């Protein structure tokens, strides 16, 4: 099908069969491909949002005009007034000169999305889902989460006066569960994995008609996440970075980064895609390990990076498509390297990131140590969440000194 005569500004297109649908025909997955889905494997039928790039180009759109309108032409909502009254996005972008007192021969930039309202990148998706729900009269939003998406949706819904129901695996970090409850959401701990919580949320969506925020399943989530690409492009003054290192679990964040730059490509605002590097934990590498396989093999995840601990990557097909189409790169790093990267990051920059975010930085350090970063190249690390989200993981690896008597002689001994 094509755009209707009412000039709907976007369509949904299936990443597997390429069928297109209007937003009145489908809400979540492509019906044709979803019918073929098998439990325990990545779902087919995830939808990509496609805009009227031809009309925008005819209008003579440029990046500054898009930015001035809040990118409304590239978002699936009618008005920015539907968005939460919080500062979502517009997060800091830092240039880092030295690491461990050594000058680097490459340029390093950090995009700190731990500075969002609920201290997570997930606020970008939650905000847009909330706005979309508001415009379509959905009053209850449900999500499955290992913690960040749930606390994000809970916080955004609190700001929007919407009801949030969050299903979490019982092993989710206490800090994230605390956040969810403080925001007043209904929390549903599930005896099982994230995938079990996901499946229960899907069944509840069908049974009760709640609006579902689950990543990939809801195409609006990717549209929210892509805004980080627009910001990075603006913060680099219209320059395209050579590489962007992104932590990967479900494959939605990396797809969002790709989608933002792809929109700019479609509009002729940029002429090439940055190299985007997918970084996973070795203990949960179900996305990158399968990229060149004929059949998808699931390995049970064991990693301290809980936010990217995923057995079945829900956005596998879109992420794989993007990585292959635009010659992306990928690697996995050990939990030890993730913790080491978290420490290097905090001590050198003053940014304390959760293990999932530090995974991306561990990827950059691997490239640096293996001389895979070209001199003077621009390299961005996307930091997706605050370290305060998961104190236990880090504190278990730190040794607190014993208390001393309040005497200078004792202090001198300690400092020796």
Pair 301, 338 in one domain: yes
Mean pLDDT of 316-320: 97
Count of beta carbons in the 10 Å neighbourhood of residue 343: 15
Highest-scoring range by mean pLDDT, 75-84, 197-206, 396-405: 75-84
239 — pLDDT class (breaks 50, 70, 90):
very high
141 located within any domain: yes
Pair 305, 211 in one domain: no
Output the pLDDT for position 2. 45
283 located within any domain: yes
Pair 359, 294 in one domain: yes
Output the pLDDT for position 3. 46
Pair 257, 182 in one domain: no
Tally of structural domains, the chain: 3
319 located within any domain: yes
Lowest mean pLDDT among 132-136, 203-207, 401-405: 401-405
Pair 252, 298 in one domain: yes
Output the pLDDT for position 307. 87
- Contact at 8 Å (CB) between 289 and 332? yes
158 located within any domain: yes
Domain boundary among 167, 198, 216: 216
- Mean pLDDT estimate for the chain: 93
The alpha carbon dihedral of 59, 61, 65, 67 has a sign of positive
Highest-scoring range by mean pLDDT, 303-312, 351-360, 391-400: 351-360
408 located within any domain: no
DSSP 307: G
Task: Decide: helix, strand or coil at residue 186.
Answer: strand
Residue 126 half-sphere exposure toward CB, CA atoms < 13 A: 38
Pair 160, 191 in one domain: yes
Mean pLDDT of 322-345: 97
Pair 135, 230 in one domain: no
Q: Measured between alpha carbons, how far is 273 from 257 in angstroms, rounded to an integer?
A: 10
Mean pLDDT of 239-245: 97
- Contact at 8 Å (CB) between 275 and 211? no
Pair 282, 171 in one domain: no
The residue with greater pLDDT, 216 or 30, is 30
7 — pLDDT class (breaks 50, 70, 90):
low
415 located within any domain: no
* Full DSSP string of 241-305: PSEEEEE-SSSHHHHHHHHHHHHHHHTTS-SSPPEEEEEEETTB-TTGGGTT-SS--------S-
- Contact at 8 Å (CB) between 102 and 108? no
55 located within any domain: yes
State the DSSP H helix or E strand holding residue 340, giving kind and residue range, or none if neither.
Answer: helix 335-349
Task: Decide: helix, strand or coil at residue 168.
Answer: strand
For residue 1, pLDDT over 50 is answered with no
Count of beta carbons in the 10 Å neighbourhood of residue 403: 7
Output the pLDDT for position 400. 83
CATH number of residue 156's parent domain: 3.40.50.1100
* Full DSSP string of 133-147: HHHTT--EEEEE-SS
Domain boundary among 199, 216, 233: 216
The residue with greater pLDDT, 286 or 3, is 286
- The answer, as to whether pTM is greater than 0.85, is yes
Measured in whole angstroms, the distance separating CA 271 from the mean position of its chain's CA atoms is: 24
2 located within any domain: no
Q: Measured between alpha carbons, how far is 272 from 188 in angstroms, rounded to an integer?
A: 44
For residue 181, pLDDT over 90 is answered with yes
The alpha carbon dihedral of 211, 225, 110, 289 has a sign of positive
For residue 73, pLDDT over 70 is answered with yes
Q: Which of 283, 282, 232, 270 is nearest to 253 (CA)?
A: 232
- Name the β-bridge partners of 110: 94, 381
Pair 103, 20 in one domain: no
Pair 359, 228 in one domain: yes
- Contact at 8 Å (CB) between 266 and 329? no
Quick one: CA torsion of 17, 143, 339, 120, rounded to 10 degrees? 100
Domain that holds residue 206: 123-216
Domain boundary among 194, 216, 238: 216
Mean pLDDT of 236-243: 97
Condensed to tens digits (0 to 9), the pLDDT of residues 95-113 reads: 999 999 999 999 999 999 9
Task: Decide: helix, strand or coil at residue 23.
Answer: coil
The residue with greater pLDDT, 396 or 262, is 262
396 — pLDDT class (breaks 50, 70, 90):
confident
Pair 164, 134 in one domain: yes
Pair 132, 113 in one domain: no
- Looking at the chain, the whole-number percentage of residues with pLDDT higher than 70 is 98
- Contact at 8 Å (CB) between 281 and 354? no
- Looking at the chain, the whole-number percentage of residues with pLDDT higher than 90 is 82
The residue with greater pLDDT, 108 or 399, is 108
């Amino acid at each position: 099908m094509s755009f209707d005569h009412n000039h709907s500004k976007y369509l949904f297109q299936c990443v597997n069969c390429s069928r297109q649908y209007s937003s009145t025909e489908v809400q979540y997955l492509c019906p044709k491909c979803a019918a073929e889905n098998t439990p325990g494997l990545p779902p087919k039928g995830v939808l990509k949002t496609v805009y009227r790039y031809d009309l925008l180009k005819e209008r003579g759109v440029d990046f500054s005009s898009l930015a001035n309108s809040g990118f409304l032409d590239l978002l699936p909502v009618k008005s920015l007034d539907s968005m939460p009254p919080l500062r979502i996005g517009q997060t800091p972008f830092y240039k880092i000169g030295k690491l461990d007192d050594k000058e680097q021969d490459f340029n390093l930039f950090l995009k700190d999305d731990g500075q969002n309202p609920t201290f997570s990148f997930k606020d970008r998706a939650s905000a847009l889902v909330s706005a979309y729900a508001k415009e379509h009269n959905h009053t209850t939003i449900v999500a499955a989460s290992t913690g960040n998406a749930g606390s994000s949706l809970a916080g955004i819904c609190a700001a929007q006066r919407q009801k949030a129901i969050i299903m979490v695996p019982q092993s989710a970090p206490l800090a994230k569960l605390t956040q969810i409850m403080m925001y007043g959401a209904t929390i549903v701990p599930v005896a099982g994995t994230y995938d079990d919580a996901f499946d229960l949320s899907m069944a509840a969506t069908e049974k009760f008609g709640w609006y579902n925020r689950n990543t990939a399943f809801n195409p609006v989530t990717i549209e929210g996440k892509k805004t980080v690409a627009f910001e990075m492009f603006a913060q680099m003054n219209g320059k395209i970075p050579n590489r962007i290192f992104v932590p990967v679990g479900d494959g939605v964040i990396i797809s969002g980064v790709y989608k933002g730059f792809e929109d700019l490509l479609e509009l002729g605002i940029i002429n090439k895609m940055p190299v985007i590097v997918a970084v996973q934990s070795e203990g949960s590498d179900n996305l990158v390990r399968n990229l060149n396989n004929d059949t998808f093999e699931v390995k049970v995840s064991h990693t301290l990076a809980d936010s990217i601990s995923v057995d079945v990557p829900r956005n596998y097909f879109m992420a794989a498509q993007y990585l292959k189409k635009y010659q992306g790169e990928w690697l996995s790093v050990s939990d030890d390297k993730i913790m080491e990267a978290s420490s290097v990051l905090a001590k050198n920059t003053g940014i304390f990131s959760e293990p999932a975010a530090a995974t991306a930085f561990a990827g950059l350090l691997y490239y640096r140590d293996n001389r895979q970063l070209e001199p003077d190249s621009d390299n961005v690390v996307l930091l997706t969440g605050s370290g305060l989200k998961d104190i236990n993981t880090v504190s278990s690896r730190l040794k607190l000194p014993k208390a001393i008597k309040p005497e200078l002689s004792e202090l001198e001994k300690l400092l020796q």
